[in-house]
Amino acid sequence: MSHPLFDLTGKTALITGSSRGLGRAFAEGLAQAGARIVLNGVNADRLETAAQEMRDQGFDVLTSAFDVADEAAIVAAFEALDAEVVDVDILVNNAGIQFRKPMLELDTADWRRVIDINLTAAFVVGREAAKRMAKRGRGKVINIGSLTSELARATVAPYTVAKGGIKMLTKAMAAEWGEAGIQANAIGPGYMVTDMNEALLSNPEFDAWVKGRTPMRRWGLPEELAGTCIYLASDASNYVSGQIIYADGGMISVL
């Protein structure tokens, strides 16, 4: 039996960008802790396939297809959940994209697209969720940062800026929403085995760099982030707010 502090039975969690990758891992972890899950993505068919796979495991899963870069669609999605009496107790702002190009060659449109999806979307979705959480006097917002919330790498400037912004957005949310009973925290994953990192995983030189730079000498697995997410979503973290927890195999702690 799980410890009651980590039991999410009766809670509903919305995870953006959750039909696959890290978002799917967060969804499955929260479901295993007892939460009802609302999967999100832009591809309705892929979203429904993911939902059915989770239902086949015995989990309670809904879907909400919307583009996190479309503010009107976000507002409409929350209004649709309201109409169905689905109260979001836990929000995981996971949706994100990567774009690799040196800054001297980077178009402003590509810069804005990465910032919009990785940072602005977290604010807009977070705002809509928090409006409703505040009325109930409780809620958990979990933003997904990165090692680049602290450190920069060449060719990923907009991603680095967005993830640095996630760190401070999390603190701003904690500062403004704490009195309403909402805790806002973030997770900063290290290098993980995901579709987004497929090109890096298949690059022998980069693979060797990651393993050599990481004290645990390996890439992380998406499911290894689930425990941190459960902790931040549960009553176990009720007095923790404005923090970012790095789950990176120790990479950010060493030179």
Q: Which residues are catalytic?
A: 159
d(CA 36, CA 86): 10
> Containing H/E element for 247?
strand 244-247
Q: How far apart are CA 54 and CA 188, in angstroms?
A: 25
Supply φ then ψ for residue 251, to 5 degrees. Answer: -55, -45
The encoded tokens of residue 75 equal 């507002």
Report how far residue 217's alpha carbon sits from residue 58's, in angstroms, rounded to the nearest whole number: 35
